[in-house]
Structure 1
């Protein structure tokens, strides 16, 4: 499990608690988390289509279940696999199999109510869940040539992209100046910070486009593009395909391959520069 980066200059992060009793519990986590509730399960899909990419959904899998195990959580994860989901429940030994099933489905974090309900513990769990599906996919897709420093920068850039930030926010997230960030990117054989952040926004949008329940407009809105047309233009510019073709081929996988090619070009350029 990857270590979460510090919350330096983080914007408010929406947390949607699906059960009313979870709202006061998670409100104790404090800033930068902004907890809301009162969204019925029947309206969740529509709500998530309008939600920013930094949103975390908190559920009690045992609340209101009938018949099959956790049907609402299963449908949520199937429709919106890019959305971080935190399962909050009382944990007992006989629930081990249920926890394993939830994690297999894609739940980002599990909170043991009672033992892990302190403000510090809850904040830590929410930080770990922040943009977890994108970061998990990015770590899995990155070329093995990307070193530890490159990965740290790129994971921070993923968080910043989900919050609608640009290169200055990336520098703030890493606790360095813009000049130092440029030096760090060059040392890690990455493109310039502005290009890194632009690429991460494209990768974020493509991760969202892989959600079966999300529209192109919804992906554009959630990933910080001003219009659907802006996202379509970015996809064509960076990936050379239209959004319909991209979704059929697997949006994130296609974008990750192109990003690795861009990283390879940056690495070769840096090596040539060092030879001079």
Structure 2
């Protein structure tokens, strides 16, 4: 039995279609990732699956329970970390954890073994108000509160946004440990390197899934020739590359631009010459392997 089953879910806010006929399933004990830009429908999907809002059409089950008919039971079985820190800022670390344990008719002592590895890292600050914690510590506290009632399915909506790289790495190590305990995890992330840590990922744009595969399968399906290009004038380079014959697509990636090309029409030497003619200096061109983000941009451009 799938831990999460979604069939043709749609949701509208007025005239805006947040989700348009989304269907997918998540296996028990799987880390399933959602990647997509703001406004693509990720948070709406999380809210439907955690029974906070209803879909306009379609059906969904979590842990075998219908999200409409069995919403009370689902709320007792799932853990949810929304995108924004939503704990009580004026309560201490320990008071927040105690409160959420009480809501689910349990205690910190009873389920401490579930959160021990996570909570031990912030326990020295248990008397500090939650609002005074660093981003990484807030993240650990929120995860502890989401886990204290022993959920079978964990929903994490962009849990590492705005958190430093070290804390992000630690957080994903925690998720791997939770997966080993048999907990199913649905997580959305804006960081493509985090998507690589999921068992499978779904790419979503404007309420539609572009594809669902393992990270390795998604990259393996990228058949384009892709080059990394940079020069002394990066903003102008982007526009000049996009107007160049033989260039299929061009997007900014950090301090370089990623360019897909038709090799029958363009070689690196020819591209360098063309850019020199447009006044660019210190041009660097090299062949690279596609990333998850390259694959997403390619699929998104085909759908638009």
Taking structure 1 as the reference length, the TM-score comes to: 0.26
- Bigger radius of gyration among the two: 2
The structure richer in helix per residue is 1
Taking structure 2 as the reference length, the TM-score comes to: 0.24
